[in-house]
Structure 1
Amino acid sequence: MTRPKRSDELANAIADLIIERRLEPGAALPPESVLMTDFSVSRNSVRESLKALQALGIVEIRHGYGTFVGSASSAALHPWLLFRTRSGGSTERLRELLEIREILETELTRRAAGTGDGELRQKLSGCVGRMRVDGPDAATADREFHEHICDAAGVPLARELVGLFWDVYRAVETDLETVAESPGETAARHQRVVDAIESGDADRAEEAVHLHFGEVRARLGTGPYRSRPADQ
């Protein structure tokens, strides 16, 4: 094998090895001595690269037992995204985060609207009902609402990303002095999305998502509601 020039390149090479060998989470990686030989690098280089991969959740180092493939959960990205959103002007970063969420969730909701999934409406309606009651569970219900849509759209990775964006958004929102939204207002915004999905009309579902995020932006003072372009 060609020797990687830097520790980050070695980390990428080890990650590629995991993919090439189709190693599942929990599977053991080759011992450090084997990695040293395969990549023609020092023990310190291997350890440094493994620590970097561990920080990303790609590997799990169990001292005294070896190194194993990790779950690579999106939670590993949480500190980075939270820092990025809080730095450089939290309001502006939060607006950008909402933009990303809107772009992603618009297509997911369009797909969910086309499934004709009656069970989905029951799940979403249950979440909306919980949002009407002020308390910690209302926030949990909000997060689950968006995750149910991801599940219905059939994009498992999107569920992780939407959950990550939602968690970071909530964390940063608490740092800002914003106009508090009543449980009834929160529930109403989400109910429009439920009604649009139930109608089976993808365009109506898209418009409901735009309205949902537009009202959030207006409340945070990060911009007005932007309707779907007329030519779409």
Structure 2
Amino acid sequence: MSISTLTPKARFSAQVRLRALQADIMELILDRDLDAGDPMPTESELCEVLGVGRNTLRESLKVLQALGVIEIRHGFGMFVAPSNFDALADGLTFRGRLSLRHEGLEALQLVDIRQALESGLISASIAVVGREHLVLIDAAVVKMEELAARGEQFAEADAEFHRLLFEPLGNDLLMNLMSVFWKVYRKIHVEIGTGGTDLVNTAAQHRAIYNAVAAQDPTTASELLSRHFDGIRAKIRNFVDSE
């Protein structure tokens, strides 16, 4: 008898079986046309339909809850979870912070993705932004400028500026992804520290981006956004090199 005959195949491992069960539960949600907030079948029904034991089912349900697929409300039952990007933010934050202790690859890649999203979509946003919305973006820049003049950090105003830039697109998924990237960046920012940040210059960068948007100049706005992220990338590299 060969060694391969004696060794269980990987697809029969407990981990793989649990992943398959999680996929089956998600397929069941789709097949039954359930929507966010809809009640899930009971544990007993799921065990019967999926042909698994209660303990195995509960193990998979816990994973799906952590992934934001289902929501378990004790005393009420299980429901299809509403949109929740917390698990994605937590996972990316961990990977980014972990990379800072090595070569910083994941942290830099996160900056690359955010840079590509913002510089690539700004022209579409400029095409639909209205005057009233420009006033809101300008107010966020003014807030940054005022705080910078006092030597104070302006993370919230910065986040609001970038959110407002793309809000005219009406793309909820984009807004959620930008929120995730911002949460991740804030954690990485705390990790690498705020020393050496030129607040006045950073606020001026945002003013220049706003001016390009207000002038309906997508080419300049895209270039300025791209350059804005170069500073973040350089700071990450400097931190990694100093470790």
Shorter-chain TM band:
0.7 to 0.9
Instruction: Kindly report structure 1 stretches of 4+ aligned residues shifted beyond 6 Å.
Output: none
Q: Which moved more, 1:109-118 or 1:84-93?
A: 84-93
The Cα shift of 1:179 comes to 4.2
Contact 2:95 2:107 in 1 (8 A): no
Where is the helix percentage greater, Structure 1 or Structure 2? Answer: 2
Q: 1:142, 1:15 → 2: CA distance?
A: 37
**Candidates 120, 136, 139, aligned match of 1:107:** 120
Alignment of structure 1 residues 205-224 onto 2, 5 Å: 205-221=221-237
Q: What is the alpha-carbon distance in structure 1 between the residues aligned to residue 170 and residue 189 of structure 2?
A: 29
> Unaligned 5+ residue runs, structure 2?
1-15, 239-243
TM-superposed CA distance for 1:149, in Å, is: 2.2
Matched position secondary structure for 1:6: helix
Greater alpha carbon shift after TM alignment, 175-184 vs 162-171: 175-184
* Equivalent position to 2:174, from 155, 158, 162: 158
CA spacing shift, 1:62–1:116, aligned 2, 3 Å:
closer
Which whole-Å CA distance do the structure 1 matches of 2:115 and 2:57 have between them? 40
Counterpart contact for 2:107–2:236, Cα < 8 Å: no
2:65 matched to 1:54? yes
* Structure 1 pair 95–118 and aligned structure 2 pair: CA distance change class (3 A): same
Instruction: Give the match for residue 138 of structure 2.
Output: 125
> Cα distance 1:188–1:197, how it changes in 2: closer, same or farther (>3 A)?
same
Find the aligned partners of 1:183 and 1:19 in 2 and give their Cα distance.
Answer: 48
Tell me which residue corresponds to 2:199.
183
Q: CA deviation at 1:119?
A: 2.4
Equivalent position to 1:7, from 15, 18, 37: 18
Indicate the structure (1 or 2) with the bigger Cα radius of gyration: 2
Letter in 2 for 1:157: L
- Which residue identity does 2:160 align to in structure 1? E
TM-score scaled by length of structure 2:
0.81
What RMSD in Å do the two structures reach over aligned CA positions? 2.0
Q: Give the deviation of 1:82 after TM superposition.
A: 1.1
What is aligned with 1:226?
Answer: none
The question of whether the paired residues in 1 share the 8 Å contact of 2:92 and 2:184 is answered with yes
Aligned sequence identity (%)? 35
Using the alignment, how far apart are the partners of 1:35 and 1:152 within structure 2? 42
Normalising by structure 1, we get a TM-score of: 0.85
CA distance in 2, matches of 1:72, 1:20: 19
For residue 128 of structure 1, what is the amino acid of its counterpart?
V
What do the CA deviations read for 1:41-71 (whole angstroms, capped 9, x no partner)? 1111211111111101211112222111112
Contact 1:128 1:190 in 2 (8 A): yes
Deviations 1:24-55 (A, max 9, x none): 32211001111111111111121111111110
Counterpart residue number, 1:198: 214
Deviation at 1:12, TM superposition (A): 1.7
3-state SS of the aligned residue for 2:79? Answer: strand
Does the 8 Å contact 1:109/1:153 carry over to 2? no
Specify the alignment match of 1:225 in structure 2. none
The answer as to 2:31 corresponding to 1:44 is no
How far is 1:209 from its partner? 1.0
Q: Is the 8 A contact 1:29 1:67 kept in 2?
A: yes
Map residues 166-181 of structure 1 onto 2, 5 A cutoff: 166-177=182-193, 179-181=195-197
Task: Name the count of aligned residue pairs.
Answer: 217
The whole-number CA distance in structure 2 between the counterparts of 1:221 and 1:43 is: 49
Relative to 1, partners in 2 of residues 1:8 and 1:72: Cα closer, same or farther, differing over 3 Å?
Answer: farther
Question: Aligned residue for 1:34?
Answer: 45
Q: d(CA) in 1 for partners of 2:183 and 2:29?
A: 29
